[in-house]
């Protein structure tokens, strides 16, 4: 679905105000991190909340070591847990993909006024840039690589593959 461009200058020009211009800059890392955090909080309510009961039932109340041991010993529980975690990943992926395709930004990005570029983004590009959400090898490696790339190269590896960037629009007069 094509997104409409903002055109706030129409009103300003009729009021004879100084012209406003939008300057596009690369979104700062801290804004991207906080936007992701906000998205995770939202997803915690809508996705993780629903699956919470399964973890309560499958994971015994014990020390982490005992929990790991008892899960490893029971292959069926291990499989069920894996399916649950994968389904959570799928729902999270669906959230990021649909929001970015429809509006170019997730709710977290809206909060910090940052968006994904290019505007005419394809489903394939969105899938590639969000694939790290799926808790499956080798995509989980991106959990380490992406933050490091973002810190040192200013662009995640997933963004490089998808040929996308995250930008911030700043109003200047």
89 vs 131 by CB, closer to another protein: 89
Q: Are 6 and 22 in contact (CB under 8 A)?
A: yes
Which positions from 19 through 78 interact with another protein, judged by CB under 8 A? Answer: 42, 46-47, 49-54, 57-58, 74, 76-77
Task: Report the alpha-carbon distance of residue 160 to residue 127 in Å, rounded.
Answer: 13
Beta-strand ranges (E) seen in 2-156 are: 21-26, 114-117
Q: How many binding residues for another protein (CB under 8 A)? A: 33
Interaction between residue 91 and another protein (CB under 8 A): yes
Three-class SS of residue 165? strand
User: What CA–CA distance (Å, rounded) separates 81 from 55?
Assistant: 8
**Does position 145 bind another protein by CB under 8 A?**
no
- Say whether 168 sits in a helix, a strand or coil: strand
Establish if 83 lies at the interface with another protein (CB under 8 A). yes
Phi and psi of 167, rounded to 5°?
A: -120, 165
Of positions 35, 97, 99, 126, contacts another protein by CB under 8 A = 99
94 binds another protein (CB under 8 A): yes
**Which residue, 3 or 154, is less far from another protein as judged by CB?**
3
CB of 87 to another protein, least distance (A): 5
């Amino acid at each position: 679905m094509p997104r409409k461009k903002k055109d706030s200058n129409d009103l300003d020009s009729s009021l004879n105000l100084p012209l406003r211009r939008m300057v596009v800059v690369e979104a700062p890392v801290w804004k991207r991190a906080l936007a992701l955090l906000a998205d995770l909080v939202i997803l915690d309510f809508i996705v993780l909340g629903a699956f919470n009961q399964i973890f309560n039932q499958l994971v015994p109340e014990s020390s982490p070591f005992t929990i790991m041991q008892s899960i490893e010993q029971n292959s069926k529980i291990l499989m069920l847990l894996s399916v649950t975690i994968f389904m959570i990943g799928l729902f999270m992926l669906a959230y990021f993909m649909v929001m970015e395709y429809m509006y170019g930004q997730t709710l977290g990005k809206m909060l910090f006024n940052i968006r994904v570029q290019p505007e005419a983004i394809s489903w394939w590009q969105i899938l590639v840039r969000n694939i790290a959400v799926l808790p499956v090898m080798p995509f989980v490696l991106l959990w380490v690589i992406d933050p490091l790339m973002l810190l040192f190269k200013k662009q995640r590896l997933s963004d490089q593959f998808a040929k996308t960037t995250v930008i911030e629009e700043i109003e200047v007069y």
